[in-house]
């Protein structure tokens, strides 16, 4: 995952993206959300429907990031983080 993130970050940097702020927000959001997802998994919440929805949204957000669709990435990350929080209730 670290290699993929690094590669994606380098690709974004090389592309000369005018939406650098959105790209960073997407990247940072993904990093935080994946850490939260890992935390939820280590605490036994990985069997919940919310956890599964969050994991799916983060996968889709990663794809959006790779295609430079940063607003879509950010939206999916925010929704995923809400599902992660809900999975821990």
Q: Torsion over CA of 73, 38, 53 and 82, rounded to 10 degrees? A: -70
Q: pTM for the full model?
A: 0.76
Name the percent of the chain in helix, strand, coil, to the closest 5. 80, 0, 20
The DSSP string of 71-85 is: HHHHHHHHHHHHHHH
Which helix H or strand E contains 66, and what residues bound it? Answer: helix 49-66
Q: What is the pLDDT of residues 68-79, one digit of tens each?
A: 999 999 999 999
Q: What pLDDT is recorded for position 7?
A: 47
């Amino acid at each position: 995952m670290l290699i993929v993130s690094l590669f994606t970050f380098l690709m974004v940097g090389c592309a000369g993206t005018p939406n650098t702020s959105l790209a960073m927000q997407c990247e940072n959001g993904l990093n935080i959300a994946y850490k939260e997802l890992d935390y939820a998994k280590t605490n036994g919440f990985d069997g919940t429907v919310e956890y599964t929805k969050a994991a799916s949204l983060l996968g889709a957000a990663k794809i959006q990031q790779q295609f430079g669709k940063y607003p879509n990435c950010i939206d999916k990350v925010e929704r995923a983080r809400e599902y992660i929080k809900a999975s821990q209730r």
